[in-house]
Amino acid sequence: MSAEDLLASARAWIRQDPDAETRDELAGIVTRAAGGDAAALEDLDDRFRTRLAFGTAGLRGALGAGSNRMNRVLVAQAAAGFAAYLLERSAGATPTVVVGYDGRRNSRRFALDSAELFAGAGLRAILLPRLLPTPVLAFAVRHLGADAGVMVTASHNPPNDNGYKVYLGGPDEGSQIVAPVDAEIAARIQRVADAGDVGLLPRSDAYEIAGEEVVTAYIEATAAVAPAGSGADGLRWVYTAMHGVGGETVERIVRTAGYPQPTVVRAQQHPDPTFRTVSFPNPEEPGALDLSYEVGRSARAELIIANDPDADRLAVAIPDQDAPGGWRRLSGNEVGLLLGARAARAAEGTPGATLACSLVSSPGLGVIARHHGLGFAETLTGFKWISRAEGIVFGFEEALGYLVNPETVRDKDGISAAVALLGLASEARERGESLSTLLAELGETYGHFGSGQVSIRVEDLSIIGTVMTSLRQTPPASIGDAVVESAEDLLHAPEGQPSGDVLRYRLADGGRVIVRPSGTEPKLKVYIDTRADSAESAAAAVAAIEAGVRVLLDERS
């Protein structure tokens, strides 16, 4: 875009922006850019050369003015476009849409804007009663028989981000949207944007506020996942909400299910959009659980449970004298296999019952499924795909996401997963054992699986494209000392199999390496999986392959 076009776009944006903060922000940049400030022009280019794309993850990005940021103009366009989509597919009926929001900056404002615009478009709009976890919104779509749901959240993204996640009811059973629906909604959003001033869109305050019964119903359904047995008596555990919205809901569910209340990480227990005690509000990130470890040592806890800020992910840590700080965070694959084995035992003998995971998650879940005579589905990454596996009784992905209660929530749910995990810990205690014992039993029963990940965060997204192109054009013959037996490009996967921007290498020693760009962050991700005769051998194989992966990425970037 030329400087003149950038300035014209910015001024048009200011005229329709209902938010004084972002209007003033942009007006200052425009003034400097009009005066020839090169940095201000570059800033405008970043904000207006494209739109924040609406896809299967909805919208997600940094807060700020401009079409390439999250703001009230973009949210208004998204709400109006989504309303148009729902009306067109409703065959004359009045669609119902539920709106939820978390504790991030502007989440409530974006949710109110959405509810007003949905109501103004003639939809029945229902706003959840207060800030609540994402799984409550996913539950509410089905519980209320709604046609759709919107959750305003950026999950575990950096503090200045926010997002707009979309669910569909009816035959989609409260799952997140998938292609081609995302493109159809995006086209209608674009029409709204092309039409101009969002201030002209009809609004109404005739939306409803959901009653507390919705939250109570979620609490009762989730507590029923694993009611406490005698092994729960005296269980010492720590919980952190990671500055998010899970705390109150978790405490109510734990009380209903009959478990002892946790020792909470008080500095992180209540919503805080600055996420002041962590550099990155993701329990996977180094240092994110440090405060939990301190509290765990003081409380002499047997385990630590953490949710991410919108409580759709779960992290678990167990005491380990050999680990830094005396605690070891279990990998997403370890927790997934623990919960998967639990689900498989319960579903054994059920016709059509299926375990599902993303293609980058541990192949151990397939082994568990076969051991118990169950179906197994491997999908693309994301619960929008996992949740749609036919006959699903359990699903997970290695990025700390678990679906343990598909009859009520068709999405990852860090709270119901926490209850299931507490159930496992209690059952183990009843036998005088622990989660560590259960992990060892997994290896003895199904084989020892190791997993690792290499993530490369980039400032320049073109680096990711360069690496992927190089690997496609010249597949590696080996990764470290491991010989590559076969290379698959899932952009060209056979019909009926997961396809996408994913490269998969099967190694001669039985290991596996998968490379893909992240769908939500500026990262290139590499997933490593091994299987061996012992946990130590599997871990050693992962370490060797990881070293080879880092050398390979250095050569190709």
What are the catalytic residues? 155
Give the integer Cα–Cα distance in Å for 139 and 408.
Answer: 6
Give the integer Cα–Cα distance in Å for 493 and 513.
Answer: 17
Neighbours of 107 (CB within 10 A): 23
As a residue count, the chain comes to 557
Strand order across the 327-329 sheet: 263-264, 237-240, 303-307, 314-319, 327-329
Residue 164 near residue 77 (C-beta atoms within 8 A): no
Give the integer Cα–Cα distance in Å for 154 and 245.
Answer: 12
Residue 478 near residue 543 (C-beta atoms within 8 A): no
| Helix residue ranges per DSSP H, 121-180 | 134-143
Question: Tokens for 214?
Answer: 């919705």
Give the integer Cα–Cα distance in Å for 304 and 262.
Answer: 9
> Residue with structure tokens 């997994």?
442
Three-class SS of 209-262: ECCHHHHHHHHHHHHCCCCCCHHHCCCCEEEECCCCCCHHHHHHHHHHHCCCCC
Number of separate helices (H) and strands (E) present in the chain: 17, 22
